[in-house]
Structure 1
Amino acid sequence: MPQTTFIAKTPAFDAYRHASREQLDGLVAALVKRARDLDPQLHILAGDIDGAGIARQTAALFERFPDPQHRPPLFGVPVGVKDIIRVDGAAMRCGALLPPVLFEGPEARCVRMLREAGAIIFVQTATTEFAYFEPAATKNPHNPRHTPGGSSSGSAAGVAAGLFPLALGTQTVGSVIRPASFCGVVGMKPSFDRIPTDGIAYFSRSVDHVGFFCQRAADIPLVLAAFDPQPGGGSRPEALKVGVPAGPYLAQAPAGTLAWFETVLEALRHGGVEVVRVDCLEGIGEIGALHRDLTVAEFAVEQEGLFGEYAHLYRPVTVAAIERGRAVPADRVAAARMSRGNLRRELTSLMDAHSLDLWVCPSALGEAPEGCGSTGDPAMNLPWTHAGLPAISLPAGRGAAGLPMGLQCVGRFGQDQRLAAAAARLETALCGLG
Structure 2
Amino acid sequence: MTLSITQAFQKNEVSPKDLISNLESHFDSHEPDVLAFIPEENRFERLLKEAEELLKKYPDVNNRPPLFGMTLGVKDIFHVDGFTTQAGSKLPTQDIQGKQATSVTKLKNAGALVMGKTVTTEFAYFTPGPTRNPHNPNHTPGGSSSGSAAAIGANLCDITLGTQTIGSVIRPAAFCGAVGFKPTYERISREGVIPLSPTFDHIGIFANDIMTAKQIASALLENWRLENWDRKPILGIPNGKYLQNTSEAGLKHFEEVCKLLSTNYQIIRVQVMDDFDEIKSRHDAIMSYDASQVHKEWFDKHEALYSQKFSDLVKRGRTVTNYQSQIEARDEFRNQITNAMDENQIDVWICPPAVGPAPKGLESTGDPVMCLPWTQIGFPAMNIPTTKNDEGLPMGLQLVGKWNADESLLAWAEEIEKVVRKI
How far, CA to CA, are the matches of 2:13 and 2:51 in structure 1?
A: 8
| Structure 2 gap ranges (5+) | none
Pair 1:181-2:171 in alignment? no
Q: Tell me if the contact between 1:74 and 1:118 (Cα under 8 Å) persists in the aligned partners.
A: yes
The answer to whether 1:84 aligns with 2:74 is no
Residues 126 and 231 (structure 1), Cα distance of their counterparts in 2 relative to 1, 3 Å cut? same
Cα 1:102–1:16 shift into 2, 3 Å: farther
Q: Taking structure 2 as the reference length, what is the TM-score of the superposition?
A: 0.95
Q: How many residues align?
A: 422
In 1: Cα distance, 2:162 partner to 2:154 partner: 16
Distance 1:154 1:358 in 2: 29
- In 1, Cα distance between equivalents of 2:77 and 2:246: 30
Structure-1 residue corresponding to 2:363 = 373
Structure 2 CA distance for partners of 1:230 and 1:71, relative to 1, 3 Å: farther
Match of 2:138 among 120, 145, 149: 145
**1:334 and 2:327 correspond:** no
Tell me the residue number matched to 1:426: 416
Distance between the aligned counterparts of 1:14 and 1:418, measured in 2? Answer: 28
Aligned-pair distance for 1:308? 1.7
Instruction: Tell me the amino acid that sits aligned with residue 390 of structure 1.
Output: P
The 1-side partners of 2:290 and 2:169 are apart by: 20
Match for 1:410: what amino acid? V
| 1:296 has 2:292 as partner | no
On the 8 A contact 2:31/2:156 being kept in 1, the answer is no
**How far apart, in 1, do the equivalents of 2:49 and 2:230 lie?**
41
Deviations 1:23-60 (A, max 9, x none): 45423332233223333222111131632332332233
After superposition, the Cα gap between the structure-2 partners of 1:12 and 1:390, relative to the gap in structure 1 and judged at 3 Å, is farther
Q: Given the two structures, how large is their TM-score scaled by the length of structure 1?
A: 0.93
C-alpha distance in structure 2 between counterparts of 1:187 and 1:77, whole Å = 17
Counting only pairs closer than 5 Å after superposition, residues 42-121 of structure 1 correspond to structure 2 as 42-48=34-40, 50-121=43-114
- 2:341 is aligned with what amino acid? M
Question: Deviations for 1:340-374, whole angstroms, at most 9, x for unmatched residues?
Answer: 33222221222111111200000000000000010
Q: 101-110 or 22-31, which moves further after superposition? A: 22-31
Q: Of residues 243, 254, 258 in structure 1, which corresponds to 2:247?
A: 254
Q: Which amino acid aligns with 2:302?
A: Y
Query: Partner of 1:69: helix, strand, or coil?
Result: coil
Residues 82 and 283 (structure 1 numbering): CA distance in 2 closer, same or farther, change over 3 Å? Answer: same
The separation in 2 between residues aligned to 1:388 and 1:47, in whole angstroms, is 33
Render the CA deviation track for 1:235-277: whole Å, top value 9, x for unaligned: 154422100001111111122221111100011123x111110
1:19 Cα deviation after fit:
2.9
Q: Residue 385 of structure 2 aligns with which residue?
A: 395
- The equivalent of 2:299 in structure 1 is 307
Q: Deviation per CA, 1:63-83, whole angstroms, max 9, x where unpaired? A: 332322232221110000000
Q: Which residue, 264, 269, 276 being the options, matches 1:284?
A: 276
CA-CA distance at 1:231 after TM superposition: 1.8
Per the alignment, residue 3 of structure 1 pairs with none
Choose which of 351, 369, 379 in structure 2 pairs with 1:361: 351
Tell me how far apart the structure 1 counterparts of residues 157 and 328 of structure 2 sit (CA, whole Å).
39
CA distance in 1, matches of 2:207, 2:9: 15
- Give the superposition deviation at 1:227: 1.6
The CA deviation at 1:98 is 1.4
Correspondence for 1:202: 195
| Residue aligning to 2:185 | 192
CA distance in 1, matches of 2:379, 2:127: 26
The answer on 1:122 being equivalent to 2:137 is no
- The code of the aligned residue for 2:249 comes to G
Residues 124-153 of structure 1 deviation map (CA, whole Å, 9 limit, x = unaligned): 000101111101110001000000000000
Deviation at 1:403, TM superposition (A): 1.1
Match of 2:23 in 1: 31
- Alpha-carbon distance in 2 for matches of 1:283, 1:68: 55
Partner residue, 1:4: none
The answer as to whether partners of 2:16 and 2:48 remain within 8 angstroms in 1 is: no
Aligned partner (choices 135, 140, 163) of residue 156 of structure 2: 163
TM-superposition CA deviations, 1:158-180 (whole Å, max 9, x none): 11101101000000000000000
Asked if 2 retains the 8 angstrom alpha-carbon contact of 1:237 and 1:421, the reply is: no
Deviations 1:321-348, CA, capped at 9 Å, x for gaps: 111111111xx22122223332222212
1:192 positional shift? 0.5
Mapped to 2, the partners of 1:152 and 1:237 lie a distance apart of 34
Separation in 2, partners of 1:399, 1:31: 29
Aligned partners of 2:383 and 2:363: how far apart in 1?
23
Give me the whole-angstrom Cα distance separating, in 2, the residues matched to 1:229 and 1:104.
Answer: 25
Q: What code does the residue aligned with 1:65 have? A: Y
Q: Deviations over 1:83-118 (max 9, x none)?
A: 000010111000011121111111111110111111
**Which residue identity is paired with 2:323?**
V
**Aligned match of 1:417:** 407
The SS at the match of 1:95 is coil
Distance in 1, matches of 2:116 and 2:252, equals 39
Q: State whether residues 33 and 134 of structure 2, in contact with CA within 8 Å, keep that contact through their aligned partners in structure 1.
A: no
CA contact (8 A) 2:79 2:192 kept: yes
How far 1:312 sits from its partner (Å)? 1.4
- Tell me: CA distance 1:61–1:279, structure 2 relative to 1, closer, same or farther (3 Å): same
Aligned residue identity for 2:329: S
Matched, 1:408 2:398: yes
Q: C-alpha displacement at 1:22, in angstroms?
A: 3.7
